[in-house]
Amino acid sequence: MDGYFCIHLWVTSRFIALCFLLPAACAAAQEIQLNPTRPTVANSATIQSKGVLQVETGYDAFPGAMQTVDSNITYAATDRLRLDFTWSAFAHQINDDGSTTNGISTMELGGKVILHKEDYHRLAPGMAFQYEAELPTASNEALQDYGQQAILLINHHYGPNGDLDVIADGSIVQSDCNTPTHCSYGGQQSFALSYHLNKRTRVYAEVYGQNVSQSNTPPGTYVFSGFFHQFSDTFGIDGGMRFGVTQGSSSVGTTVGLVFGKRLKHYAAAQ
């Protein structure tokens, strides 16, 4: 566990440094609209502002099952297209035989396309499609995986100011393609409510289920409660608790993360 702590500390310290560097670099830019992919499993059919590079780093823990430190880097190439890269810097896993495995986990490449932009004054919801390819880059065979996930995302805002966001996602998951038995298939479904307490703070309630390990969560059905607070245009923090509600689910889990954003210089003049 000492090695895990050192890696966790190293990764966290690097991103804390970014917290101080990014605001200075973006001081002359216009307001950045961050669009965190954490702490919920469900995500809305939106992306961050065009030309914004967003970096998220988080720690997810299910005691007795798994712990993960990962980073997610996304870039909004257009108003409707986001490019994604996710890397798990460290994973701690309890295996079926009771042994533990520590190491670097897999990385994912993909993107998100907005199919229909939401106008909350109208009935039609926002809709997007997301694709992720998981590559077998883990440092230990027990952490290895090779597969893909296709996700349909739908959301709609309600209320006079659109403060309540209703989000529903569904996905098909292909995994374990690196094993002798070849690929296995599963799914993940999630439903979340996001309420804006003010411009910079929102709270979440979510229920989601999956029959494969996905989103740093063991298989099962879970309920979640959490928050996101944006301290500035370029920095925010999120966190929450997950509780397993079906047989075989991990009983409790926690998550905490940091979100950073930077508008790239060659887009600043166009905004």
Tens digit of each residue's pLDDT (9 = 90 or more) over 240-257: 999 999 988 889 999 999
pLDDT at 19: 46
pLDDT at 5 over 50: no
Domain ranges of the chain: 2-268
pLDDT at 66 over 50: yes
Integer CA distances (angstroms), 13 to 24, 53, 66, in order: 18, 20, 22
pTM: 0.85
* Contact status, residue 109 vs residue 84, Cβ threshold 8 Å: yes
3.40.50.1980, 3.40.1360.10, 2.40.160.40, 3.40.640.10: which CATH number matches 2-268?
2.40.160.40
Task: Please report which helix (H) or strand (E) contains residue 117, including its range.
Answer: none
pLDDT at 97 over 80: no
Give all strands (DSSP E) within 77-219, no chain letters. Answer: 81-94, 100-103, 107-116, 126-135, 147-158, 164-175, 184-196, 201-210
Q: What integer best gives the mean pLDDT of the chain?
A: 85
